[in-house]
Amino acid sequence: MLIVKNLYVKVEDKQVLKGVDLAVEKGKVHALMGQNGSGKSTLAQALMGSPVYTITNGEASFDGKNLLDLEPNARAKEGLFLSFQYPSEVPGVNILSYLRLIYNNKHDQKLSPIAFKKYIKEKLDLLDIKEDFLTRYLNDGFSGGEKKRMEMLQMLVLEPKLSILDEIDSGLDVDAMKLVSTAVNYLVKEKGMSVLIITHYTRILNYIQPDKVHIMQDGVIVKTGDKSLAHQLEEMGFAQFGNE
């Protein structure tokens, strides 16, 4: 689904990624772990096409297409989704209208406002969100947990091929983390979605079981293993891996 080869990325004059290699298979869950400043979020933003990040070398393909040739909106239409670590607040944009807009942009069969309200109900139930949530403005005045649920609601509407979840567990209590995990696990199981979870901690991996775990340090992936690698990290910390 996603193949990254020898990727180098700069932010302004700083070289952040220094030759990243990564492959995420269809329907599999990968966890990318590392300390602050190791390059995890830079990889996510670069793959999504943020203009702040300059790719200086390397390749990235998504579902057989050259990802780096596509504009950010084209990457989204191809089925790449990024859940932001800090989602923006957009006052004046009604959530129900916004969700219907992104649904109709993604699907050939458009839904009327009445039909979409019926469709969105099961997504709200999955995340334990009340219907009056839809009358609010996009992330306007939301708590951290509400913003993360909003990200998951968008993901459920779009049903992407690959979701990159950038520290989706940050600031969540246990109940909210379980709801977020339910949405992710549903799309993996029912729709064959691939997932790249970016996180510092192993607790989210108790609810979303990874097939592979990658450790990133100083702009490169220094270790890859199965989920036992996350438990090893929990016990001994990042320093044990060094920069191989």
Quickly count: other Cβ atoms within 10 Å of residue 82's Cβ: 25
- What Å distances lie between residue 194 and 98, 137, 208, CA to CA? 25, 29, 12
What does the pLDDT look like over 74-129, one tens digit per residue? 999 999 999 987 888 999 999 999 999 999 988 888 999 999 999 999 999 989 89
In the chain, what are the domains? 2-241 (3.40.50.300)
- Cα–chain center distance at 142: 19
What does the pLDDT look like over 29-64, one tens digit per residue? 999 998 888 899 999 999 999 999 999 999 999 999
Mean pLDDT for all residues in the chain: 91
Q: Can you give the pLDDT at residue 145? A: 84
Nearest to 113, CA basis, from 136, 133, 125, 97: 97
CB 82 within 8 A of CB 44: yes
Nearest to 64, CA basis, from 2, 5, 4: 2
Q: Can you give the pLDDT at residue 240? A: 65
What does the pLDDT look like over 200-209, one tens digit per residue? 888 889 899 9
Adjacent-strand bridge partners of 165: 83, 197
